[in-house]
Structure 1
Amino acid sequence: MYAFDVIGEITFSKRFGFLETGQDINDMMHHTANFMTYTGTIGQVPNLDWYFRIKNPILHVLRPTSNILSFTLKQIQEHEKSPEKNSRDLLSRFIEARQKYPDIVDDDLLHDYTNTNVAGGSDTTAIMLRTLVFNITTRKQVLDKVVAEISTVMKARPKDTDPDTPITWAEGLSMTYYQACLKEAMRYHPPTAQILPRVVPQGGVELCGVYLPAGTNVGCNAWTVHRDKQLYGEDADEFRPERWLEVSSEQAKKMEALLFTFGAGKRACVGKNIALLEMTKFVPEFFRRFEVRVVDAGRYRITSSWLAVQSGLDVYLTLRDPAALVAEV
């Protein structure tokens, strides 16, 4: 819900309202999850997608749809009706691109931009947030270090700072151990469960001693890359943030450079910095506001299709006084 509302604010200058209502507004999360499952299956045989959507109108009704489209169409209409009221959100920039490059950006592409923005920036970030919360909460040593680091940041604030002031981006970045947790979460549980394919260009290419002809689809699975023991250590199958702090700066840069969480190269995720911003601010603030205890770690499950989505992250929350962390000795 948090991830959806944030991407709504960035894209449309308007939150969906998940957090205020505590509800799945218009079943958007439900339909997005179904579409990701559909993509993970039918996406392996793209011709079937064409068949379901275009060739056979009867089968078309079986294809998952999303109420996000209705919401985005409404926002586009409102932006176009009163452009002077719009802030410099992403939708405003998409509309400007359509006006500036009409031969490239048409109405359909504008719709794709906004829908992809919401779908791509919600579930993926939510997966990372769950990974962080679960793995920090279920490891007392990790949790204690994160809370101690939050306390240190709080104590470093000017004395007249309102204790209710949220943790800032700069403060989140200064938390060395938490940033190691963040990198470890991206390594340990990348949201994308399948390969990110590329097409071999004309002339073919030789990879690892194997010749691949032009037109071949080739890719890497982030889960496999991130469990490389030569790169990340013999305990690469374990969640251990300390691995990022124990190595030399050169090795740490190499380990981070080969993280495939957001893809790589020219097609790396354009929302990477937004996701990092959300994770850097939200999780420390979450543990600052609440004492968190997992109800039953055995309920935690991962289901893989296009994304590796978790379920069963049920927790007990006890409200924490933000000022208490400053007072702790």
Structure 2
Amino acid sequence: MVLARCYKLKMLLSASMIVLLLVAAISSVILRLVYNIYFHPLAKFPGPWYSSATSLSLALISVRGIELEWLMDLVEKYGTERPIRVTPNMVLSPKPEHLRDIYWDPEFNTKSDTYSSGALGPPTLFTTTDGERHKQLRKALGGSQWTIGSLKKNWEPRLDELIELFIQKMTDHSRADEIIDIGQKVAEFAADFLTIIAFGESWGFVRNGRDERAFLTSWREGLPYFGFSSRWKSFRDHILKNALLAPYFLPSVSDQHGMGFLISHAAQQISLREKKIAESNGEWKMNNPDLLQHCLDARFSDGSPLTYTDKQAHITFLFQAGADTAGTGMGCTLRYLLTHPDALRKARLEIQEADRASKLSQPIRYDESREHLPYFTACIKESLRLAPPAPNLFPRVVPAGGRRLGASYIPAGTDVMVTPYIPQRDADFYAPDPHAYRPGRWLEGGAAREAEMDAVMFTFGMGPRVCIGRDVAYLELWKLLPEVVRRFDFELVDPGRYVNPGGVAYNAGLRVKLTPRPRGG
């Protein structure tokens, strides 16, 4: 009897202890939420109570694919005079003039820990948070191979071949009277060109008319998780940084889809190249080194090569950075042209006039497009303004001593972010029609106004961390798009939509029927 009573007492005490622990945990969470909303150093900034309370709110908004609309609603509600609080420790700076203050300041060059989730694999140029480490990597991996001059010299002829093949395949679809997803087709084109300049050979996206090796699918599958993990701080701190739990949540080379699948492909490419070099006793050389070879040859300032992890991470980064960005830019430009017939008519007329004056090659060369097609250039810029391919958050950490943005003082340690979608739709800067697709705005104010708008274009970032592959995207945008408009008429079947799952966008369902145009027509 005594033992039974002791057992019951022990059970009651155990149950009481569990209840106490639960009450303590819940109380701790409630106190943290109350502190974040009312007593945190950022409590003075405007913003929704739920996102000020926990970063989980922003993570869920990102997963739902409504982040950009939500941020724009905040700007319309709270205005642009003060930064807007979007998580307990992050504010959005919505004014275009603050871009330079944040992204050009060398003391503002530390990225937020939102980049350190590991959801994209090991640290790269993009995800390295420390500014000094980034400088070292940029110096080792950067170089003339990324500039438009070098790209034109070394890769434009290969791009011309791919464009002709693309035109041939689109003509075949037209003859078969097929409806195609042109947004997906230009994304596959961009992926094909990426594999050419990255690995020296095409993977066959255009030739075979499909997403080879599930390249684009794997990238897109991983985006919602990337957005979720980079935005929810508690998940990063307590799960992804836990040695026991992290392997269950981070990408692995054994994965058959998502980011891990891309990492495994990167490892395969490195192994194949290093095997080729080893079999030649180190004598094998490329006449025109691809980006993989530049990565393998890269050296830090002390002469040391990249580690294997660095090599694998940055080859994966080539996949990630180029997977959909150029393709999204091309697809969005086509969508805007097809849904704005007057803009398409003007762009086509400009191409025809340049053709009649014998100013355009076949395919159109990059320099010809930039020099002789100013309106088409404006169409591309206006599309990148309204539909940036990577509308991510890009937060930086306020350095010691804090910083003042306009009239607002931001405490040290705060994450300050800008997403291209907001300043590129600024109601004052692009008045009176910031949300309208109007390419003519780039031509109306002369060179000074165009330069002013270029200075706040954040599509590919700015400052010392500007996108290293920006000119690769420019080369494709200014060559393929005018050539497609020159060669085909379009019947729009479905405009599709611009999708943003986790901070990187792509096009879904831009369906058309094509009709070849007569030469010079």
What TM-score do you get using the length of structure 2 for normalisation?
0.57
- Alpha-carbon offset, residue 268 of structure 1: 0.9
Match of 2:516 in 1: 319
In structure 1, what residue type is equivalent to 2:323? S
CA contact (8 A) 1:32 1:66 kept: no
Distance of aligned partners of 1:310 and 1:198 in 2 relative to their CA distance in 1, 3 Å threshold: same
Say if 2:208 is the partner of 1:11: no
CA contact (8 A) 1:191 1:307 kept: yes
Match of 1:146 in 2: 347
CA contact (8 A) 2:219 2:323 kept: no
For 1:301 and 1:101, the matched residues in 2 are separated by: 45
From 264, 288, 309, give the equivalent of 1:70.
Answer: 264
Distance of aligned partners of 1:228 and 1:74 in 2 relative to their CA distance in 1, 3 Å threshold: same
- Alpha-carbon offset, residue 181 of structure 1: 0.6
SS of 2:428's partner is: helix
Match of 1:55 in 2: 244
Match of 2:408 in 1: 210
- Alpha-carbon offset, residue 144 of structure 1: 1.0
For 1:109 and 1:252, the matched residues in 2 are separated by: 39
Match of 1:290 in 2: 488
CA contact (8 A) 1:197 1:220 kept: yes
CA contact (8 A) 2:251 2:260 kept: no
Superposed CA RMSD in Å reads: 2.4
For 2:491 and 2:302, the matched residues in 1 are separated by: 52
For 1:319 and 1:69, the matched residues in 2 are separated by: 40
SS of 1:43's partner is: helix
Q: Deviation per CA, 1:126-156, whole angstroms, max 9, x where unpaired?
A: 1111111011112111111111122122223
For 1:92 and 1:85, the matched residues in 2 are separated by: 9
- Alpha-carbon offset, residue 52 of structure 1: 4.7
CA contact (8 A) 1:41 1:306 kept: no
Match of 2:232 in 1: 45
CA contact (8 A) 2:393 2:417 kept: yes
For 1:70 and 1:60, the matched residues in 2 are separated by: 13
Match of 1:307 in 2: 504
In structure 2, what residue type is equivalent to 1:202? A
- Alpha-carbon offset, residue 48 of structure 1: 2.8
In structure 2, what residue type is equivalent to 1:271? G
From 76, 80, 94, give the equivalent of 2:274.
Answer: 80
For 1:202 and 1:235, the matched residues in 2 are separated by: 39
In structure 1, what residue type is equivalent to 2:468? V
Match of 2:293 in 1: 92
After TM superposition, list the pairs within 5 Å mapping 1:1-329 onto structure 2: 1-45=188-232, 48-49=235-236, 51-52=239-240, 54-56=243-245, 57-60=247-250, 64-83=258-277, 84-86=284-286, 87-98=288-299, 103=304, 105-157=306-358, 165-174=362-371, 175-297=373-495, 299-321=496-518, 323=519, 325=520, 328=521
Distance of aligned partners of 1:176 and 1:52 in 2 relative to their CA distance in 1, 3 Å threshold: same
For 1:207 and 1:147, the matched residues in 2 are separated by: 44
- Return the structure number with greater relative CO, CA threshold 8 A, min gap 6: 2
Distance of aligned partners of 1:39 and 1:59 in 2 relative to their CA distance in 1, 3 Å threshold: closer
In structure 2, what residue type is equivalent to 1:219? M
Structure 1: where are the runs of 5+ without partners? Answer: none
What TM-score do you get using the length of structure 1 for normalisation?
0.89
Q: Deviation per CA, 1:241-272, whole angstroms, max 9, x where unpaired?
A: 00111113212111111011011111111111
CA contact (8 A) 2:427 2:433 kept: yes
CA contact (8 A) 1:193 1:304 kept: no
For 1:172 and 1:14, the matched residues in 2 are separated by: 26
Structure 2: where are the runs of 5+ without partners? Answer: 1-187, 278-283
Identity %: 29
CA contact (8 A) 2:365 2:479 kept: yes
Moved over 6 A (4+): none
